[in-house]
Amino acid sequence: MSTRRVFLARSIAAVGATTVAYPRGQVLGAQEKNDRPRVAVVGVGYQPDAGNGKPRRGRGIAIALQAQKHADLVAVCDVDGVARDAVTGWVGKQHPETIADYRRIIDRDDIDAVLIGTPDHWHVKIAVEALRSGKDVYCEKPVTVTIDEGKLLRKVIGETGRVFQVGTQQRSEYESRFLTAIAMVRDGRIGKVRRVRCGIGSGRRGGPFATEPVPPKLDWNAWQGPAPVAQYIQQRCHRTFRFWYEYAGGQITDWGAHHVDIAQWAIGHESGGPVSIRGTADWNQTLDSRGMPRRDDTYSTPVDFSVTAEFNGGVEMVIDSSRNGITFEGQSGRFFVNRGTLEGIPVDQLADKPIAESSLRSLYGGSLPTTHMANFFDCMRTRRQPISDFSSHHRTLTTCHLANLTLRLDRPLRWDAESERVIDDDIANQLMTREYRQGFEIE
């Protein structure tokens, strides 16, 4: 699987094929300098490459973010000096400012959009501040680490009226396989849906890990940000941050953000949620009775798991660590879809009875699908809702967060999607939020 930074880079690169005029000052609200938006990136990524001893960095994003046919890259921010150094060597003719503190981007009036590729625990704070400063936002998934973060961000997006695109590229990319799958379900090609299985693969197994000296160019305090202070462990940082509850939600939110999103959209619950959820899991360590890790030197998210969510209408959704992809099962058939294939008897039948183009247009807001990043820039111009709106993403992640909660607490949960509360479970409701470290609160 590509890292989200690399995927973000590829999406932006594809945008370059289309040039769109952006009336500066009128739509974007920034200083009139040219007809293209000015963008900044927060979080470009760095990862050691064990193969050759050289840094495997987010250079793809640095190259692609030139977006010279579509946007101007004016600033790049990362708390890792190695990542910042890598960017300067790959931005071509453009000369963005490379900085360590994202607040310098928030304070600038000449930036129209912020693209966020940081670890998950930083997403909402940066997004809220960017939105309130009048900037549009593209944020990689999963956007939130708690349900209450999602409720807050949804409120701020509504208050500010800014464009917010989530990096759930399956809504746009992959030769429209996922859109076709959704259209097949909604067109009744498998009859009434009974069950959807979202296979998202296993989480990471590992630990205990040794503490190490902080790398000289990494601001470890800033990297931790809103999360609790911890000693530096290499596995806490960079790509494997997602397997620590302090920073993310493991495989369930990382891949679940993609597949649960498509599944809920297909069955018509993109604006709702399950009524109940239960599951079992295998862990790297034992959690306490309140679902909190007992150790700070071992991955704390589920390794192998199976979660079953019940939705109104009798649809059952299974989220487990099986083969990556989505299986839709109905009264009259079943089929499978992932990023590489769309297969099954109902798919074979498309040769004689294809999905109407109008069905795909309807799913994609009335137009034919384009690249995910192109959709974002187009919505900046038109002020329309992007294909990956935050409200539906919040509902997807609510299911994923509930999946983690039912595993962490080792008991079934009942969910009220209207009030967005767990029914009769105070501890579960308390885990819907988290306390931010002093100095890193969301204001």
Q: What is the pLDDT of residues 285-299, one digit of tens each?
A: 999 999 999 999 999
| Dihedrals phi, psi of 257, to nearest 5 degrees | -55, -30
Average pLDDT for 369-395? 94
What is the C-alpha to C-alpha distance for residues 409 and 219, in angstroms, rounded to an integer? 34
Q: In what order do the strands lie in the sheet with 304-311?
A: 342-343, 333-337, 325-330, 193-199, 315-320, 304-311, 276-282, 413-416, 421-422
Asked if residue 33 has pLDDT above 80, the reply is no
Asked if residue 54 has pLDDT above 70, the reply is no
Report pLDDT for 46.
61
Report pLDDT for 342.
98
Asked if residue 69 has pLDDT above 90, the reply is no
Report pLDDT for 93.
65
Strands (E), 11-116: 38-42, 46-48, 55-57, 72-77, 97-99, 113-116
pLDDT above 90 coverage of the chain, percent:
79
Tokens read off for 347:
């798919």
Other CB atoms within 10 Å distance of the CB of residue 348:
10
Confidence band of 48 (pLDDT split at 50, 70, 90): low
Report pLDDT for 289.
94
Q: Tell me what the pLDDT averaged over the chain comes to.
A: 88
Q: How many residues does the chain have?
A: 443
Report pLDDT for 20.
36
Q: What is the pLDDT of residues 385-414, one digit of tens each?
A: 999 999 999 999 999 999 999 999 999 999
Confidence band of 34 (pLDDT split at 50, 70, 90): low
Q: What is the pLDDT of residues 250-303, one digit of tens each?
A: 999 999 999 999 999 999 999 999 999 999 999 999 999 999 999 999 999 999
Q: Of residues 74 and 5, which shows the higher confidence score?
A: 74
Q: What is the pLDDT of residues 100-157, one digit of tens each?
A: 999 999 999 999 999 999 999 999 999 999 999 999 999 999 999 999 999 999 999 9
Tokens read off for 253:
């939110």
Asked if residue 29 has pLDDT above 60, the reply is no
Q: What is the pLDDT of residues 329-343, one digit of tens each?
A: 999 999 999 999 999
Beta pairing partners, 359: none
The pTM is what? 0.91
Report pLDDT for 141.
95
| Dihedrals phi, psi of 248, to nearest 5 degrees | -165, -165
Average pLDDT for 202-218? 97
